[in-house]
A and B are shown apart, each in its own frame.
Chain A
């Protein structure tokens, strides 16, 4: 399948100063590196190790992920609606593959 499967939910509008909840979900196998495959060969680790969210360029939330995180990681967090603009989301995995998406918010 072509595009990475990502879902983010950001409120379309918010009042200035309001605390808004943001939910993100990305499809990723999150292979821990601890599992053995056929013939006892270790399956190499492949996880998303970094998640970042910037709000009009400013980093508002970031997380380092480790092998205990399940497949298809769901990350929800809150931020304060300060101004209309764009939230950018960025996931980086062990292969250096970067997945991004963005969402707009209108602050009144």
Chain B
């Protein structure tokens, strides 16, 4: 019962499951149509590229992802819906991109991909795409609680010269406009997303760094514990919403 209370307390900051609205509901009909059509959705270029990488033998071991994980369509189903998870090696949470690089370095004996590189985004998109339509289901792992709590604290911490927190916009003013754009509820269900503004695919961390720069704060570094904890909190907050990867956003 105590555990349940903690989980409920963590989730109660956002809206309850049925009230949550994915970012796709805040975009124009044209953008929504772009996301819905797999032959027009530019994010599918990254998914396609990721499929090629999945089967490419690399590193000293000359092994591909498929050598161990076989067909991603079967084995990677649901993975993006539960990440970030607790990593036994690092003894702290790890997100999907971190896991891909960890696999490359430890298992394939290859160099890690750079953050926001085409390769890392492509593999992430390909893996996350296998969970499309599945509800976000964060693991009930008590080792994660303190990190989720920290992510929540960061979400509500006022930062930058503008001195606001994530909730100032994404909780209090979701659905209203910020310089012409509708403010969504910040549910990260479609990452990596294809963002029209970027003219490219990008990760959740890139998106969050954009917000941090926007409020004139020093953004957290890619892959930093703060970023992972924020991802962790946001995915817990988005629990129940379907994965959309690759999503298209303005």
Contacts and interface: CB of A to CB of B under 8 A. Distances in A.
B211 interface: no
Contact of B40 (A1, A3, A23, A71): A23
Nearest to B119: A1
Contacts of A29: 199
A75 B45 CA distance: 14
A76 B49 contact: no
Nearest to B34: A74
Interface in A18-49: 23, 25-27, 29-30
Most chain B C-beta atoms within 10 Å of own C-beta, residue among A25, A26, A30: A25
Given A1-B53, A1-B118, A70-B199, A9 B45 contact: no
Nearest to A1: B49
A23 B42 contact: no
A76 B42 CA distance: 13
A2 interface: yes
Contact of B42 (A2, A3, A9, A72): A72
A63 interface: no
Given A71-B200, A72-B199, A5 B49 contact: yes
A76 B200 contact: no
Interface in B41-73: 42, 44-46, 48-49, 52-53
A62 interface: no
For chain A, which range describes its interface: under 10, 10 to 19, 20 to 34, or 35 or more residues? 10 to 19
A80 interface: no
Interface string A60-98: 000000000011101010000000000000000000000
A1 B122 CA distance: 10
A7 B44 contact: yes
A7 B199 contact: no
Given A1-B53, A5-B49, A74 B119 contact: no
A3 B118 CA distance: 13
Contacts of A30: 199
A25 B200 contact: no
B51 to A, nearest CB: 10
Given A7-B44, A71-B200, A72-B45, A2 B39 contact: no
B44 A25 contact: yes
Interface in B153-206: 196, 199-200
A25 B42 contact: yes
Contact of A27 (B40, B45, B196): B45
A64 to B, nearest CB: 20
Contacts of A71: 199-200
A52 B48 CA distance: 23
Nearest to A29: B199
11 contacts: A1-B53, A1-B119, A1-B122, A5-B45, A5-B46, A7-B39, A7-B45, A25-B45, A26-B45, A71-B200, A72-B199
Interface of B: 37, 39-40, 42, 44-46, 48-49, 52-53, 118-119, 122, 196, 199-200
Interface of A: 1-3, 5, 7, 9, 23, 25-27, 29-30, 70-72, 74, 76
Given A5-B45, A25-B39, 8 more contacts: A1-B52, A3-B52, A5-B48, A23-B37, A25-B44, A70-B199, A72-B45, A76-B40
